[in-house]
């Protein structure tokens, strides 16, 4: 089966932004996990995962995301999600992970949250 996940990395104000499209499942979770962990390398306070074009995420994808959460916590960083797909948002609601990961409907809202968090830390 083909791995059907694309991940593009950009950056805004020193914050890595991973734009994802496709499925995060058993076939693609390692690619996803590595991209998230790599984006947390260095002096990063926050990583934004844009999941508008993610069609599906399963338990292995959620496990990879939790691995990223552990790495972020070790580095006093945060993973922020941007997702407007109701099916994917529902998975986070059902699992309770919407309480663990800040979730926004737009990248602009997520970046504003990051800026507020950094300003409060100063």
DSSP track, 62-121:
HHHHHHHHHHHHHTT-EEEEE---HHHHHHHHHHTGGGTS-EESSHHHHHHHHHHHHHHH
Average pLDDT, the chain: 91
CATH code, 101: 3.30.750.24
Q: How many whole angstroms from its chain centre is CA 66?
A: 10
Cα separation, 47 vs 79, in Å, equals 5
Residue 109 lies in a domain: yes
More confident residue, 36 or 120: 36
Residue 59 structural domain:
5-114
Whether the predicted model's global pTM rises above the 0.85 cut: yes
Asked whether the beta carbons of 10 and 17 are under 8 A apart, the reply is: yes
């Amino acid at each position: 089966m083909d791995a059907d996940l694309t991940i593009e990395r950009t950056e805004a104000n020193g914050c890595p932004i991973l734009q994802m499209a496709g499925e995060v499942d058993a076939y693609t979770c390692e690619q996803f996990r590595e991209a998230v962990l790599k984006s947390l390398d260095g002096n990063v306070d926050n990583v934004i995962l844009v999941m508008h074009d993610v069609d599906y995420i399963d338990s292995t994808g959620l496990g990879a995301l939790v691995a990223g959460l552990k790495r972020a916590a070790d580095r006093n960083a945060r993973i922020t999600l941007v997702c407007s797909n109701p099916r994917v948002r529902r998975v986070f609601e059902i699992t309770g992970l919407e309480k663990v990961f800040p979730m926004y409907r737009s990248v602009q809202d997520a970046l504003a949250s990051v800026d507020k968090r950094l300003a409060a830390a100063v």
